[in-house]
Homo-oligomer: A and B are copies of this chain.
Amino acid sequence: MGGGSERPVTVREVAAAASVSQATVSRVLSGSATVSPELARRVLGAAAALGYAPNLSARSLASGRTATVGVVVPNLANPYFYALIKQMIHDSEADGYRLLIADSDEKVSAETAHSEGLLRQSDGLIMCSPRGPESDLNRLRALGKPIVVFGRDGTTPEVSRVFAPGAAAIRDLVDHLARLGHRDLLYLRGPRHSWHDQQRFRAYRAAAADRLTVRALACGGSMEDGLRLAARVPETGASVVVSYNDLVAFGVVAGLAERGVSVPGDVSVTGYDDIPFARFLTPALTTIASPQEEAGAATWRAMSGLLRGETAGTRLTLSCRLVLRDSTAPPPARRGDPMPPAVPVARQAEPVGRG
């Protein structure tokens, strides 16, 4: 039991043990080519007996394929992204691929650097919610390898896309808020350069139309950002804070509580994503569920298809849905307000008297 390094078994040794050529061993092990059952059995037996395991570097060098796919995410600390990643790690494994994960920490420069480096040493690249300019994709595309972008639409040719437009769910949410009697909505904007943020902001404004006023404050995408911005919420006079994502909502709720502002009594708060923690917040967070596992599965499926030679440039959309919980309620009655709606709307929402 000296723990010394056992020299790895090579195809050559397996070939010798099975009395066949290296090529035959390779064929059997790759599964692809046609080999007589008898030889296949012998090779498999020898390989098992010797404890053979292929050297992936050698295989890559010879074949030109790496059996590896790169993934770039803007922030690994967001449960939303690792739900996605967990699913992709799983599914890719089943297809015989490994994932190389890079975290750009919301920095465009890191994203650009990582994506090119990753793609060079892998068979394909999955970019999750990229923040960098769309033109980066053209440069990457020149490497001639499959690229899938999750969480951002765009027109770069040969790039497949998977994303979940939120406009419909956002309309549902705004309808819900309007019915509750809200008139002043505050949108807390997400990370700079986030496509999701732009889409959501636009969708909230469109949905609000002439029913609600929509203001926005630059915020970010983390709990700390939400916590920080909570200080500025009261002065806006908004009766509902619509957060870029759930993390921000967590911060806002906590920050508001610290200031003695009750949610949803004084201010309603909503999130986006429906991360697993959302329902455990107090009050349970009203949010928009973005299908994380499904998105991870669909994104990998897109990549897997490209890897098998399917035509690139497909666009797949998933759908989000409104999840009503307890962080939204009618606004507090204020001087000069018309009577609040008589009929309660929300899930748990108890009828409210008047002010």
Contact = CB atoms under 8 A, between A and B. Distances in A.
A250 B79 contact: no
Contacts of A76: 82, 85-86, 89
A311 interface: no
Contact of A57 (B61, B83, B250): B61
Contacts of A223: 276-277, 280
Contact of A55 (B3, B6, B61, B251): B61
A157 B98 CA distance: 30
Interface of A: 1, 3-6, 8, 53, 55-58, 60-61, 66, 76-77, 79, 82-83, 85-86, 89-90, 93, 98-103, 117, 120-121, 138, 141-145, 157-158, 223, 250-251, 253-254, 257, 276-277, 279-282
Nearest to A5: B144
A253 B281 CA distance: 10
Contact of A60 (B57, B102, B144): B57
Contacts of A53: 117, 120
A100 B100 contact: yes
A79 B76 CA distance: 10
Instruction: State the oligomeric state as a number of copies.
Output: 2
Contact of A280 (B56, B89, B281): B281
A158 B103 contact: no
Contact of A277 (B5, B8, B57, B277): B277
B86 A103 contact: yes
Contact of A138 (B1, B66, B83): B1
A157 B277 CA distance: 40
Nearest to A81: B82
Given A5-B144, A77-B83, A250 B280 contact: yes
Contacts of A85: 76
Contact of A98 (B8, B77, B100): B100
Nearest to A61: B57
A103 B89 contact: yes
A277 B257 contact: no
Nearest to A253: B280
A103 B102 CA distance: 16
Count chain B CB atoms within 10 A of each CB in A77, A93, A277 and give the residue with the most.
A277
A101 B143 CA distance: 25
Contacts of A138: 1, 3
B77 A103 contact: no
A254 B276 contact: no
B254 A8 contact: no
Given A76-B85, A76-B89, A89-B101, A143 B280 contact: no
